């Protein structure tokens, strides 16, 4: 409330304005009126402040004005002071003048106020004015009357904005014009109760704007109806109320699925002593009908009946389940019975086929033969396979087939007719063999029918044949084994070769003498190599020993030794063969070369040819070492002597080319041989250049020797290039790589890595100034592209492949 409203102004009789401090009816009506006019500062008040001219609103809104200057230009009027009225007169005047004040048509100008007493007079007038004030407040709202009147003071911008957004005058706001058109109405409540205490307070406008079903009235009616029910007397009124009964069907009882227990905790005698009191009315009433024993008995009968119903239902369900189970068992038994009847019929058919075999009581030659028995077994396997496997009918072959096959092979000689009975045995292999693989000797407990057939029928015949066989008649026995090998299980073939044939060969090798026997041993032993393979290795040491003894008095001029030893070159291991050559052949050849006389005028070539005949038998390194020590020194010495005695260089050239043509390309490709011939060319070049021979020199000798040297060097270069190309292609094919070793040591290192052999030098170990190496467990050294292996007494040259074989 503004403080300026609390003051009134006294008359200006004394020329001084006096403020009154009292609350009047105008003040209350002004403060509780939300639509009262508020003072708005005018332009003159904003410019001149307190010196602005006052309008009519100055009388309407008294404020702290202080002393105001008198307007001396106004006419002077005289007002009588009158007499002071009593309190009763003032009260009566106020009661008579109140109507005129209330009937003022909206003028908010306060009435003339009396002089304020010392205490505010807020008695009956203030209390009595509250009702009229509330009525005026509610009555001051005019629905829709003053709506939009504020636009007469503006340029209508609000109405224009609303019309741009789709507003139509006279309709509600919103997209669908669902807004209310009139302001919210206020409804006066009857008393001083809370909201909802006097029922529904909705106005007509609310019902029009929001036509929804309001259930509050129905709830109120229901509440009032239930509130009065407790006062009703069941015995009085329209009549006696009917009791309500609760029914439960058998299906509901089954669905509940619980047996009703008998509640007998409280004895019937105690229930009979309980006093029932009715407290629903104003007075205490005692029940006129109370029979607890009867109620208990009835409830007991109900419980027992429900229990009987549930038990009967469960028995019925159990019996139904039993019927279903028995029906399933009956169907399964019927199926099983049908299967067993089929099995009985099949067994009867199998028994009929088995009865056709020859029994022990049947006379020989009366029963079926091998072909008919084979047909019976094929029928059993094709039509009754399950019974054949389950009953083990294959074991019948031992009792049925063995006697027939034994009788057929009784007169068989494997050395004369190796394929006799082969077709029959092959047929039974397809019938009886189950694909088992056995190792070792005869595992009789686990042999199938076919293996047992061969072991008990075929092997005895071969055992008897081998016992009387001569190993030097190798052809028939080898043919027999090769023909029957595809039909023999591995373990039976191994038994035949290792236990029957190999002992016979071993005894024959022990009795063999290379000096007296005219039949070479390889002719009757090597045919067994494809069959026995590594099983013959135990025979090789005694064979080498006997051959070494036979070569003690041998001379290289005897070519029979080479014919005897040549078939064994590919049979013996490379290491064993090289050792045999170094020990028994190379010393003889060295002696032969030592006896060779190099004579350009009358040369005897037989000793040299005897040595070169062993080229294919000796390793290249062994042959090169032999020539280096026993041939080339004397050959170069003869050349030097010839050149020092005024030679004929044309004859020397022919002599040089003739000796070189005696060697094969493989020998000439050896580095040491190549170096020796190049050394001879160098000697000849020095002779023609320095005139070493003295005397007369043939015309063109120097050019001829130079041409010969150039031609030989070019041939060597072409051959080396071709050999390198071949080596590169072979290396590439093996997948080792395109790079070749740069020297012989690198080649040995590559071979050692390829074969997982340790190759490393020995620290501070040398032989004749050459570094010693370990190649596996062998000590070697390398000299001019030749590998020397430490033997028992001396160092022996060997090939790289022989070195690898010895290291392994």
pLDDT digits (tens, 9 = 90+) for 731-750: 666 554 445 556 778 888 88
In whole angstroms, give the CA distance from residue 586 to residue 576: 15
pLDDT at 681 over 70: yes
Work out the pLDDT band at 73, boundaries 50, 70, 90.
Answer: low
Mean pLDDT, all residues of the chain: 75
pLDDT at 542: 92
- How many of the other CB atoms lie within 10 Å of CB of 383? 13
More confident residue, 264 or 479: 479
Residues in the chain: 808
List b or e across 266-290, with b for residues whose CB sees 16 or more CB atoms inside 10 angstroms: eeeeeeeeeeeeeeeeeeeeeeeee
pLDDT at 107: 43
Work out the pLDDT band at 241, boundaries 50, 70, 90.
Answer: low
Overall pTM > 0.85: no
Structure tokens at 495: 């038994």
According to DSSP, the residues that pair with 790 across neighbouring strands are: 795
Of 163-172, 566-575, 615-624, 651-660, which range is least confident?
Answer: 163-172
Task: Using DSSP, state whether 17 is helix, strand or coil.
Answer: coil
Where would I find the H helices in 140-230? 157-164, 204-209, 216-227
Of 122-126, 383-387, 417-421, 520-524, which range is least confident?
Answer: 122-126
Work out the pLDDT band at 102, boundaries 50, 70, 90.
Answer: very low
Of 209-223, 520-534, 722-736, 793-807, which range is least confident?
Answer: 722-736
Helix (H) or strand (E) holding 381: helix 370-383
pLDDT at 57 over 50: no
pLDDT at 33: 72
Work out the pLDDT band at 317, boundaries 50, 70, 90.
Answer: very high
Helix (H) or strand (E) holding 773: strand 770-775
pLDDT at 246: 76
- How many of the other CB atoms lie within 10 Å of CB of 209? 15
Work out the pLDDT band at 322, boundaries 50, 70, 90.
Answer: very high
pLDDT at 9 over 50: no
pLDDT at 62 over 60: no
pLDDT at 3: 45
pLDDT at 41 over 50: yes
In whole angstroms, give the CA distance from residue 596 to residue 214: 147
Cβ-proximal residues to 804 (8 Å cutoff; 6+ apart), any chain: 574, 751, 755, 757
- How many of the other CB atoms lie within 10 Å of CB of 158? 12
Cβ(403)–Cβ(464) under 8 Å? no
Work out the pLDDT band at 751, boundaries 50, 70, 90.
Answer: confident
pLDDT at 109 over 80: no
More confident residue, 70 or 50: 50
In whole angstroms, give the CA distance from residue 118 to residue 126: 17
Helix (H) or strand (E) holding 674: helix 671-690
Strand 285-286 relative to strand 277-278: parallel, antiparallel, unpaired? antiparallel
Strand 285-286 relative to strand 778-783: parallel, antiparallel, unpaired? unpaired
More confident residue, 181 or 805: 805
Q: What is the mean pLDDT of residues 329-344?
A: 92
Distances (CA, A) of 494 to 120, 429, 454, 561: 145, 18, 13, 35
Q: pLDDT exceeding 70 applies to what percent of the chain? A: 68
Work out the pLDDT band at 496, boundaries 50, 70, 90.
Answer: very high
Cβ(723)–Cβ(665) under 8 Å? no
In whole angstroms, give the CA distance from residue 788 to residue 772: 10
Longest dimension (CA), the chain: 199
Of 243-252, 269-278, 585-594, 792-801, which range is least confident?
Answer: 269-278
Q: What is the mean pLDDT of residues 629-646?
A: 87
412: left (phi over 0), alpha (psi -120 to 50) or beta: beta
pLDDT digits (tens, 9 = 90+) for 618-630: 988 889 999 999 9
Q: What is the mean pLDDT of residues 173-191?
A: 73
pLDDT at 336: 93
Most confident of 204-218, 461-475, 717-731: 461-475
Work out the pLDDT band at 545, boundaries 50, 70, 90.
Answer: very high
More confident residue, 51 or 435: 51
Work out the pLDDT band at 754, boundaries 50, 70, 90.
Answer: confident
Q: What is the mean pLDDT of residues 548-576?
A: 89
Distances (CA, A) of 800 to 578, 582, 622, 749: 11, 15, 11, 11
More confident residue, 477 or 92: 477
pLDDT at 392: 79
The pair phi, psi for residue 568, each rounded to 5°, is -90, -5
In whole angstroms, give the CA distance from residue 179 to residue 433: 103
Structure tokens at 469: 């066989």
pLDDT at 709 over 60: yes
Strand order in the sheet with 786-790: 759-767, 770-775, 778-783, 786-790, 795-798
pLDDT at 442: 46
Of 181-190, 635-644, 712-721, 755-764, which range is least confident?
Answer: 712-721
pLDDT at 439: 43
Cβ(553)–Cβ(561) under 8 Å? no
pLDDT at 574: 87
Cβ(310)–Cβ(259) under 8 Å? yes
302: which DSSP letter? H
Work out the pLDDT band at 6, boundaries 50, 70, 90.
Answer: very low
Look at residues 375, 369, 442 and name the one whose alpha carbon lies nearest to residue 407. 369
12: which DSSP letter? S
Of 83-97, 534-548, 699-713, which range is least confident?
Answer: 83-97
Look at residues 1, 6, 4 and name the one whose alpha carbon lies nearest to residue 116. 6
Most confident of 31-40, 131-140, 253-262, 744-753: 744-753
More confident residue, 41 or 529: 529
pLDDT at 328: 94
Strand 285-286 relative to strand 759-767: parallel, antiparallel, unpaired? unpaired
pLDDT at 693 over 60: no
More confident residue, 239 or 668: 668
702: left (phi over 0), alpha (psi -120 to 50) or beta: alpha
């Amino acid at each position: 409330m503004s403080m300026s409203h609390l003051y009134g102004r006294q008359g200006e009789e004394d020329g001084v304005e006096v403020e009154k401090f009292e609350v009047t009816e105008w003040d209350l009506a002004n403060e509780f009126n939300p639509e009262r006019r508020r003072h708005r500062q005018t332009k003159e008040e904003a410019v001149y402040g307190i010196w602005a001219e006052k309008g009519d609103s100055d009388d309407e809104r008294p404020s702290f004005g202080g002393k105001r200057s008198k307007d001396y230009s106004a006419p002077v009027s005289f007002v009588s002071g009158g007499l002071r009225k009593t309190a009763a007169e003032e009260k009566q005047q106020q009661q008579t003048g109140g109507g005129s004040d209330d009937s003022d048509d909206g003028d908010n100008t306060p009435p003339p106020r009396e002089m304020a007493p010392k205490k505010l007079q807020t008695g009956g007038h203030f209390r009595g004015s509250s009702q009229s004030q509330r009525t005026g407040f509610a009555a001051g709202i005019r629905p829709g009357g003053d709506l939009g009147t504020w636009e007469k003071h503006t340029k209508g911008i609000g109405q224009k904005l609303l019309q741009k957004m789709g507003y139509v005058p006279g309709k509600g706001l919103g997209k669908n014009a669902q807004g209310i058109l009139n302001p919210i109405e206020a409804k006066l409540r009857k008393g001083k109760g809370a909201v909802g205490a006097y029922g529904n307070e909705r106005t007509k406008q609310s019902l029009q704007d929001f036509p929804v079903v309001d259930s509050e009235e129905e709830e109120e009616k229901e509440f009032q109806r239930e509130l009065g029910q407790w006062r009703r007397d069941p015995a009085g009124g329209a009549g006696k109320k009917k009791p309500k009964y609760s029914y439960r069907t058998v299906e509901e009882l089954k669905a509940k699925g619980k047996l009703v227990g008998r509640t007998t905790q409280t004895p019937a005698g105690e229930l009979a002593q309980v006093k029932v009191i009715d407290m629903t009315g104003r007075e205490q009433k005692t029940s006129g009908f109370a029979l607890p024993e009867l109620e208990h008995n009835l409830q007991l009968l109900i419980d027992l009946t429900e229990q009987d119903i549930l038990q009967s239902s469960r028995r019925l369900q159990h019996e139904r389940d039993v019927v279903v189970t028995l029906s399933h068992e009956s169907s399964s038994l019927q199926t099983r019975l049908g299967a067993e009847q089929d099995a009985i019929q099949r067994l009867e058919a199998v028994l009929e086929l088995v009865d056709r075999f020859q029994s022990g009581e049947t006379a020989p030659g009366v029963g079926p033969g091998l072909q008919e028995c084979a047909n019976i077994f094929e029928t059993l396997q094709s039509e009754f396979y399950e019974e054949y496997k389950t009953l083990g009918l294959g074991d019948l072959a031992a009792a049925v087939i063995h006697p027939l096959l034994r009788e057929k092979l009784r007169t068989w000689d494997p050395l004369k007719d190796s394929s006799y009975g082969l077709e029959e045995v092959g047929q039974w292999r397809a019938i009886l063999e189950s694909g088992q693989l056995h190792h070792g000797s005869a595992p009789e407990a686990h042999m199938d029918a076919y293996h047992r057939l061969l072991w008990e029928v075929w092997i005895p015949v071969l055992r008897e044949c081998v016992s009387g066989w001569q190993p030097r008649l190798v052809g028939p026995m080898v043919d027999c084994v090769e023909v029957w090998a595809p039909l023999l299980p591995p373990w039976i073939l191994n038994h035949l070769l290792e236990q029957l044939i190999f002992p016979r060969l071993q005894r024959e090798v022990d009795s063999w003498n290379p000096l007296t026997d005219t039949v070479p041993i390889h002719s009757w032993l090597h045919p067994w190599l494809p069959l026995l393979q590594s099983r013959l290795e135990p025979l090789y040491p005694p064979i080498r020993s006997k051959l070494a003894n036979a070569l003690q008095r041998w001379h290289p001029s005897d070519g029979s030794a080479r014919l005897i030893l040549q078939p064994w070159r590919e049979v013996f291991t490379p290491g064993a063969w090289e050792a045999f050559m170094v020990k028994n052949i190379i010393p003889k050849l060295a002696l032969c070369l030592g006896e060779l006389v190099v004579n350009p005028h009358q040369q005897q070539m037989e000793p040299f040819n005897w040595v070169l005949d062993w080229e294919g038998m000796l390793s290249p390194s062994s042959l090169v070492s032999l020539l280096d020590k026993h041939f080339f020194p004397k050959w170069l010495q003869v050349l030097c002597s010839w050149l020092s005695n005024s030679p004929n260089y044309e004859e020397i050239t022919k002599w040089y080319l003739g000796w070189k043509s005696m060697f094969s390309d493989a020998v000439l490709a050896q580095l040491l041989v190549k170096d020796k011939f190049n050394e001879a060319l160098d000697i000849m070049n020095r002779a023609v250049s320095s005139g070493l021979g003295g005397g007369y020199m043939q015309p063109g000798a120097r050019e001829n020797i130079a041409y010969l040297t150039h031609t030989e060097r070019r041939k060597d270069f072409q051959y080396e290039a071709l050999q390198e190309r071949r080596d590169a292609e072979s290396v590439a094919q093996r997948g080792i790589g395109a790079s070749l070793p740069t020297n012989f040591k690198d080649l040995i290192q590559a071979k050692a890595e390829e074969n997982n052999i340790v190759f490393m030098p020995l620290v501070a170990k040398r032989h004749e100034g050459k570094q010693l190496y370990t190649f596996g467990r062998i000590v070697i050294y390398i000299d001019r592209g030749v590998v020397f292996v430490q033997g028992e007494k001396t160092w022996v040259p060997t090939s790289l492949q022989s070195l690898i074989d010895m290291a392994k």
